[in-house]
Amino acid sequence: MEEFDLTTREGRFKYFGSVDPVEGTKPKVKEDMADLQNSRKDFLFEVDSVGINNLSYPVVIGDFQSVGNFELATSLEKDEKGINMSRLIESLETVNSNGVPLDFDTIKELLSKLRDRMKQNSAELTVDGKWFFNKPAPGTGLNAVANADVVYSAAFDGESFTRKQFGMTAQVTTLCPCSKEISEYSAHNQRGNVKVLIDIDDSAELPATYKEDLYEILEINASSQLYPILKRTDEKMVTERAYENPRFVEDLIRLVAYDLVELDWVKGFELECRNEESIHQHDAFSRLKYQK
């Protein structure tokens, strides 16, 4: 029976089944290795998108660092077998400065590099993450960090964006108009989620405050807003505002849509409102699509 020196890591590894590497016959130098991805012949179809997704990477959204979940891809020509996927992250690294700034100038730069490095016709990206920002309480003005989910999605053909989208999900308070109408006192209310994905008009000027402007639209049309810190006087204001502004999901989605249509840089949008009903075991929702 083979003896093992269990006082060494190598001995312990072999004791648990590790074996010595074989000499092998295949090349060890890159230039001598086969490059299957660069094979060229008729592979039957072009591929619209090929790449990587579910990549966690540091980003900067506004004034705070966050974590982005990335999908990076390019097109693929009919006569090429595949892409060099390591170049996707190599390209991402070129715009990483203690986090990738999430803005459309940086996204355009990244997509241009992706397209050129991969020698393809187009490149695309989708990244979502949490946007953190300071939000004061409505009465006392006490500041604390709030958050909203955001998503950037874009495609670039070397000349211009062929897709330029920004999305956001904000949490709000909704108070039921029916409940208020039929009850002797009080009314049921709940946390709601307002989610929008905007098609941005690339010919229009995107304001520097587009995130803040959109967040205000999603919140202000609800019964009331959510805050990270509330003192008693703040809580009174928030509670009474909700009672003064009852909203069905149907009401909320129409009010938000009206404000979105008024924005010059919005070409179209998909909108969803969802209430986490406090007196039911189900949610209530409404959806709306609009193109100018």
Predicted confidence (pLDDT) per residue in 37-81, tens digit: 766 777 788 888 899 999 999 999 999 999 999 999 988 888 888
pTM (2 d.p.): 0.88
Bridge partners, 258 (sequence order): none
Q: Summarize pLDDT for 187-199 with one digit per residue, the tens.
A: 888 999 999 999 9
- Give dist(CA 162, CA 230) in Å, integer: 44
**Torsion sign, CA atoms 223, 229, 230, 234:** negative
- Give dist(CA 28, CA 221) in Å, integer: 63
Helix axes 249-261, 210-220, angle to 10 degrees: 150
Which DSSP letter does residue 30 get? G
Q: Summarize pLDDT for 223-243 with one digit per residue, the tens.
A: 999 999 999 999 999 999 999
Phi, psi (5° rounding) for residue 271? -130, 140
Q: Return the pLDDT at 169.
A: 97
pLDDT classification of 120: cutoffs 50, 70, 90? confident
Q: Return the pLDDT at 221.
A: 96
**Runs of H (alpha helix) within the chain:** 9-15, 86-93, 104-118, 177-182, 210-220, 232-244, 249-261
Bridge partners, 199 (sequence order): 165, 268
Q: Summarize pLDDT for 157-168 with one digit per residue, the tens.
A: 878 899 999 999
Q: Summarize pLDDT for 106-116 with one digit per residue, the tens.
A: 999 999 999 88
Q: Return the pLDDT at 249.
A: 92
Q: Summarize pLDDT for 267-279 with one digit per residue, the tens.
A: 999 999 999 888 8
Cβ-based neighbours of 276, under 8 Å, separated by 6 or more: 190, 191, 192, 193, 283
Mean pLDDT to the nearest integer, 121-147: 95
Question: What are the tokens at 267?
Answer: 């070409």
Q: Return the pLDDT at 36.
A: 66
Instruction: Give all domains of the chain, ordered by start, each with its CATH number.
Output: 160-292 (3.10.270.10)
pLDDT over 80 (residue 33): no
Of 203, 215, 213, 212, the residue nearest 263 (C-alpha) = 213
Mean pLDDT to the nearest integer, 238-264: 94
Mean pLDDT score of the chain: 91
Q: Return the pLDDT at 186.
A: 84
